[in-house]
Structure 1
């Protein structure tokens, strides 16, 4: 089956951060805690940088799942924040779906905890309703790599595109000439090795003056 290449567009994409909650994050074992936190915050910074409409949601946050991690709330103080009272699949919450439809956009960038439930269920539901869905694999976590791979395979078979936060940033940006310093700084903040590239670049720029 041939699948057409649908590029992410900063003018048609919405970012959905699903159930990045203090309790649920303790279940994530397919990434180290530090790497996972960095990946999630990097994706959030990408959404902020490209001014994407962003929607936050939690599942039963008064129970053991815990509250949304504060760093995300601080980054998006004015974003729609849907606290689901019980629905496991965020797509079963009318307020959440309506917030998505209110953006008027057809591309959904999704990340969440856990991958096989909180990400997979709404991703498949959105595909069914005609959205183009892009799941950010390294900003979504679950119990182990076996569960991770099964979830990725299930979503991919349904037409979900699997990406990492770095490729999301690059595809949205399209061309370095749009803002070399801005994107370079964002990448450097989350990829220490990339900071070396930016240091070299800045030294070369300074030498030209």
Structure 2
């Protein structure tokens, strides 16, 4: 049987940001701290831009994992926020699963720390329950590239699709004509060189007018 292309659909997708905690992010070594923070905030902004249901969750905040990074709290003040008392796999927490299912969406866009545990475990659990899972590779971090590759391989073999945040945004948007300035601004805010493209476009547009 030939594989099918399951496209992200902005009308059927939710975003799960799992365990981006002030303690855990210190374990991320497959991206520099600045790169990783930019990528996490980028996928968060993608979620806001497309008005996707977004769920935040943390594990054992009172322990060394620490609280959720403050930027995400500020960006999503009214979104479901599940502080798990100890469950390592977010899918083992009843409130988290209820929040996911309450979105009514079948496509789950997941990012988190660390990739082979906090991302992989709920991703595999969600796939088992019939969800289509998309992993945001560059907004998920772990100890090193080898660990990341192994985790992604495990998830892909189960049916997950790995994308970076830029690919997520493009697949959700589908057509530049839907909103050139809005998406271009989002990209420019997280990809410095992309601002050159938008400046060039703006210049040409003025000349044409």
The match for 2:24 is: 24
Q: Distance in 1 between matches of 2:121 and 2:205?
A: 47
Task: Give how far 1:3 is off.
Answer: 2.0
Matched, 1:86 2:115: no
Q: Distance in 2 between matches of 1:205 and 1:72?
A: 35
Task: Give how far 1:208 is off.
Answer: 1.5
Task: Give how far 1:28 is off.
Answer: 0.1
Matches within 5 A, 1:1-209: 2-209=2-209
TM-score by length of 2: 0.99
Secondary structure of the equivalent of 1:152? helix
After superposition, the C-alpha distances for 1:167-193 in whole angstroms (9 at most, x for unaligned) are 000000000010000000000000011
Task: Give how far 1:62 is off.
Answer: 1.1
Q: Distance in 2 between matches of 1:68 and 1:53?
A: 18
After superposition, the C-alpha distances for 1:95-152 in whole angstroms (9 at most, x for unaligned) are 0000010011100000000000000000000000000000000000000111111001
Task: Give how far 1:22 is off.
Answer: 0.4
Q: Distance in 1 between matches of 2:35 and 2:89?
A: 26
Secondary structure of the equivalent of 2:26? helix
> Displaced runs of 4+ in structure 1, greater than 2 A?
none
Q: Distance in 1 between matches of 2:69 and 2:206?
A: 40
Q: Distance in 1 between matches of 2:144 and 2:10?
A: 32
Secondary structure of the equivalent of 2:138? helix
Secondary structure of the equivalent of 2:193? helix
Q: Distance in 2 between matches of 1:168 and 1:104?
A: 20
49-58 or 2-11, which deviates more:
2-11
Secondary structure of the equivalent of 1:35? helix
- Output the aligned Cα RMSD: 0.6
- Equivalent pairs, count: 209
Q: Distance in 2 between matches of 1:2 and 1:54?
A: 32
Unaligned 5+ runs, structure 2:
none
Q: Distance in 2 between matches of 1:82 and 1:110?
A: 15
Task: Give how far 1:206 is off.
Answer: 1.0
